[in-house]
């Protein structure tokens, strides 16, 4: 459908009042669009608001609480033993590995209320059974915004799942099911021990239910790859094993059938716009494990915070307005660390702990390298001069 299908440019006779009303309405809409999209874009980060080290969804490092987590969750004081028994005592072929640990990979259905009030599936991904108690790890983006989550086992049984915890910054989430049956638990490997060129096997559900349990294979193409997704940088394993939409939250295995990564991202285009293939990424299990354990016991990840909200100033905006690149403070958490340290509205944070921070991601990385209670030097640009402040980091 195009605009000509529903818009008539002709002005009815005797309708001059409607003509002027339409002109005013159009001007209002244009002005609203300018405020909503054009003006924020000059500040960078697509105009999105960022709350450093706190919990809204727009925050790098935030821990959003999806709707499905609102029911009380029983939390153990100590995380249960994660990972099943080693499936293979030696290197095995791909078919043997699939038979041994394939059932530990499940389908994850993200359901939300339709306009009619009924729950409808709005997305489908993968997950991995990681304990006998029924804990399942998946990606945060697989269950984000869910009103309810369902898990499908390899035998076709589907059941409701509870969201135990979710962390947007690391793109990890933990679910729990009450299966009332024996579960195949995925054994954990050592992601630090893998070498480039090692066998890598991906198991997941590309494109959803129709291709449940798909197995692809390749090699570990790279380690410690810094991949930026939605303004946050995650260190990942790189693989050429085929990873497609629906694989998110699935397993990347080594030649012994052990979990070395949680498949998360596929790069489809370069910055120049060229399409690429064989460029998939997985969150290393050694990095994911402490996050998973904290989500099970706490439901969220505690991170240090400054307690300011604002927007990133891009290089283009900095040149145009003759101001430095950095983080423009638009809101301050009352009596938060930044407020107590003397940070003010319209300050531009340009340096944290002595390191130049031009982007929100750079600032978050420095802050997250500390713990709550640490004192860090924060340099702000205020009305043409630099001011150094001491901030005692808070706890998100």
| CATH number of domain containing 343 | 2.30.42.10
Confirm whether 263 is domain-assigned: yes
C-alpha closest to that of 125 among 262, 237, 222:
262
User: Are the C-beta atoms of 306 and 393 separated by less than 8 Å?
Assistant: yes
pLDDT class for 274, splitting at 50, 70, 90?
low
Whether residues 267 and 364 share a domain: the answer is no
The alpha helices in 74-229, defined as continuous H runs, are 94-101, 140-143
Residue 171: active-site member: yes
Whether residues 72 and 172 fall in one domain: yes
Domain boundary among 263, 288, 313: 288
CB atoms under 10 Å from CB of 157, counted, come to: 13
User: Is residue 71 located within the same domain as residue 171?
Assistant: yes
Tell me the mean pLDDT in the region 23-46.
Answer: 47
What CATH number is attached to the domain comprising 207?
2.40.10.10
Statement to judge: residues 259 and 349 lie in one domain: no
76 and 158 in a single domain? The answer is: yes
Among 248, 287, 365, 396, the active-site one is 248
More confident position, 11 or 210 = 210
CA 51 – CA 48 distance, rounded (Å) = 10
Q: Are residues 211 and 117 in the same domain?
A: no
Name the most confidently modeled range: 60-69, 79-88, 188-197, 301-310: 188-197
276 in the same domain as 324: no
Question: In this predicted structure, which of 13-17, 195-199, 300-304, 375-379 has the lowest mean pLDDT?
Answer: 13-17
Residue 209 in any domain: the answer is: yes
- What whole-number distance in Å separates Cα of residue 261 and Cα of residue 282? 5
pLDDT band at 287 (very low <50, low <70, confident <90, very high): very high
Residue-wise pLDDT for 343-373, tens only, equals 999 999 999 999 999 988 889 889 988 888 9
pLDDT value of residue 179: 81
**End residue of a domain, out of 242, 261, 288:** 288
Does residue 102 have a pLDDT over 50?
yes
Whether 313 and 274 map to the same domain: the answer is no
Same domain (yes/no): 278, 212 = yes
Mean residue pLDDT of the chain comes to: 82
Query: Residue 30: which H helix or E strand, with range?
Result: helix 16-33
Q: Given a cut of 80, is residue 386 above it in pLDDT?
A: yes
Is 112 in contact with 147 (CB distance < 8 Å)?
yes
Domain co-membership, 72 together with 170: yes
Identified catalytic residue from 50, 131, 141, 364: 141
d(CA 352, CA 379): 6
- The residue annotated as part of the active site, out of 167, 171, 347, 361, is 171
How high is the pLDDT of residue 14? 44
Q: Which domain holds residue 51?
A: 45-58+303-395
The alpha carbon of residue 115 and the mean position of all alpha carbons in its chain are separated, in whole angstroms, by 26
C-alpha span between 360 and 236 (Å, rounded): 20
State residue 320's pLDDT score.
94
284 and 308 share a domain? no
CA dihedral sign, ordered 344, 350, 354, 360? positive
């Amino acid at each position: 459908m195009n605009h000509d299908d529903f818009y008539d440019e002709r002005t009815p006779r005797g309708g001059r009042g409607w003509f002027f009303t339409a002109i005013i309405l159009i001007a209002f809409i244009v002005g609203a669009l300018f405020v909503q999209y054009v003006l924020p874009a000059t500040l960078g980060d697509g105009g999105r608001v960022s709350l450093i080290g706190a919990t809204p969804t727009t925050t790098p490092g935030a821990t959003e609480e999806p709707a499905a987590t609102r029911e009380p969750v029983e939390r153990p004081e100590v995380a249960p033993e994660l990972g099943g028994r080693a499936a293979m005592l030696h290197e095995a072929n791909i078919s043997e590995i699939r038979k041994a640990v394939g059932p530990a990979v499940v389908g994850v259905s993200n359901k939300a209320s339709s306009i009619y009030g009924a729950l409808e599936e709005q997305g489908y991904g993968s997950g991995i059974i990681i304990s006998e108690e029924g804990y399942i790890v998946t990606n945060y983006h697989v269950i984000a915004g869910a009103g309810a989550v369902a898990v499908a086992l390899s035998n076709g049984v589907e059941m409701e799942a509870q969201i135990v915890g979710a962390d947007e910054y690391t793109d990890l989430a933990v679910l729990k099911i009450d299966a009332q049956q024996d579960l195949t638990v995925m054994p954990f490997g050592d992601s630090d021990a893998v070498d480039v060129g090692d066998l890598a096997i991906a198991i997941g559900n590309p494109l959803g239910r129709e291709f449940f349990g798909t197995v692809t294979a390749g090699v570990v193409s790279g380690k410690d790859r810094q991949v930026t997704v939605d303004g946050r940088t995650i260190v990942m394993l790189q693989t050429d094993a085929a990873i497609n939409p629906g694989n998110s939250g699935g397993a990347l295995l080594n030649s012994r059938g052990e979990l070395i990564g949680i498949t998360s991202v596929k790069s489809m285009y370069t910055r120049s716009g060229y399409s690429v293939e064989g460029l998939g990424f997985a969150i290393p299990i050694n990095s994911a494990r402490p996050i998973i354990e904290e989500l099970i016991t706490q439901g969220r990840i505690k991170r240090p915070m400054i307690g300011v909200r604002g927007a990133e100033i891009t290089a283009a905006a900095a040149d145009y307005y003759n101001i430095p690149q950095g983080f423009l403070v638009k809101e301050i958490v009352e009596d938060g660390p930044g407020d107590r340290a003397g940070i003010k509205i319209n300050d531009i944070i340009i340096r944290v702990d002595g390191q130049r921070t031009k982007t929100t991601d750079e600032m978050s990385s420095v802050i997250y390298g500390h713990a709550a209670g640490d004192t860090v030097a924060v340099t702000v640009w205020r009305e043409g001069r630099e001011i150094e402040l001491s901030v005692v980091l808070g706890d998100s």
